């Protein structure tokens, strides 16, 4: 990226009267909706087996959009690092593991990004099939579009605690829902606050025999990508694991 395209250019050069000065970025993040009293132990066992239980302990604090914007102004895509007064620094895999408890060892998280029918995956793992866009457009209800499902649709089905006479199948469906919230709403948050990608669920099937994946590397790459895009002068929003950026700072 050339300097004149970087959002920090307005700090060095006086912008013209017709040029829009970059404002504070909108930072996307979703908190995990853990029920009052904590996560059901039956669900927690499955979450622990994935290696992602550390995300359940990440504090629920509001993002400081101005602080993150200030850091992005110092982010250089050429080096994937922040240029600070004391030198260059960046968010490492160790930060991923120590600060938010994401595993940094294991298999690479490489899977399908295109599937003939993502609704089949929802039906198989979550027990519900989101209505398609054409059927639901006139009813103004939550829908599924490609590999993305609206958060409201998930909350309507999994916000209540597990019933007393629950089945193991239902426990697993709740566990998949929490995994989806943790990955799609925290580690791999995009610029949408209303939808989550379900393509991550393919790595957790079957849930009782999960392989160990290096989610830290995948999340770091996703974060770097969003920092690079947000450093452009025209950027308005930023995704990725923004809470990590704030805690790291």
Q: What are the beta bridge partners of residue 6? A: 232
Length of the chain: 249
Is residue 215 very low, low, confident or very high in pLDDT (cuts 50, 70, 90)? very high
What are the pLDDT digits (tens) for 26-77? 888 777 766 666 788 999 999 998 889 888 888 888 899 999 999 999 999 9
Q: What is the pLDDT of residue 198?
A: 82
**Share above pLDDT 70 across residues of the chain, in percent, rounded to a whole number:** 85
What are the pLDDT digits (tens) for 159-171? 888 888 889 999 9
CB atoms within 10 A of CB 60: 9
Q: Compute the average pLDDT of residues 137-148.
A: 56
Q: Compute the average pLDDT of residues 203-215.
A: 83
Q: Compute the average pLDDT of residues 188-208.
A: 81
- Burial call 33-58: b when 16+ CB within 10 Å, e when fewer: eeeeeebbeebeebbebbbbbbbbeb
Q: Compute the average pLDDT of residues 178-194.
A: 84
Asked if pLDDT for residue 138 goes beyond 60, the answer is no
Asked if pLDDT for residue 108 goes beyond 60, the answer is yes
Q: What global pTM score does this model have?
A: 0.85
Q: What is the pLDDT of residue 21?
A: 66
Domain extents in the chain: 3-112+150-248
What are the pLDDT digits (tens) for 50-63? 889 888 888 888 89
Mean pLDDT of the chain, nearest integer: 83
Strands 75-76 and 81-84: antiparallel
Is residue 137 very low, low, confident or very high in pLDDT (cuts 50, 70, 90)? very low
Asked if pLDDT for residue 134 goes beyond 50, the answer is no
Distances in whole angstroms, Cα of residue 61 to Cα of each of 122, 128, 178 = 30, 32, 19
d(CA 134, CA 231): 37
Distances in whole angstroms, Cα of residue 75 to Cα of each of 50, 60, 189, 232 = 32, 25, 19, 10
């Amino acid at each position: 990226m050339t300097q004149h395209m970087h959002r920090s250019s307005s700090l060095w050069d006086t912008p013209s009267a017709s040029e829009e000065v970059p404002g504070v970025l909108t930072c996307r993040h979703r908190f995990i909706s853990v029920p009052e009293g904590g996560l059901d132990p039956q669900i927690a066992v499955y979450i622990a087996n994935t290696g992602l239980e550390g995300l359940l302990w990440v504090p629920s604090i509001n993002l400081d959009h101005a602080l993150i914007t200030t850091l992005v102004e110092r982010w250089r895509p050429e080096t994937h690092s922040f240029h600070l007064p004391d030198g260059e620094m960046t968010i490492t895999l160790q930060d991923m593991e120590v600060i938010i408890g994401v595993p940094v060892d294991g298999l690479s998280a490489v899977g399908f990004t295109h599937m003939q029918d993502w609704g089949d995956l929802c039906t198989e793992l979550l027990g519900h099939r989101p209505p398609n866009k054409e059927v639901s457009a006139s009813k103004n209800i939550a829908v599924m579009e490609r590999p993305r499902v609206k958060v409201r649709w998930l909350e309507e089905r999994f916000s209540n605690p597990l019933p007393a006479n629950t089945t193991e199948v239902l426990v697993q469906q709740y566990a998949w829902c929490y995994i989806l919230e943790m990955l799609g709403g925290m580690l791999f948050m995009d610029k949408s606050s209303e939808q989550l990608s379900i393509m991550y669920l393919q790595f957790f099937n079957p849930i009782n025999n999960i392989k160990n994946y290096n989610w830290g590397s995948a999340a770091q790459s996703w974060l770097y990508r969003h920092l690079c895009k947000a450093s452009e002068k025209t950027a308005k929003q930023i995704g990725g694991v923004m809470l990590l950026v704030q805690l790291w700072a």
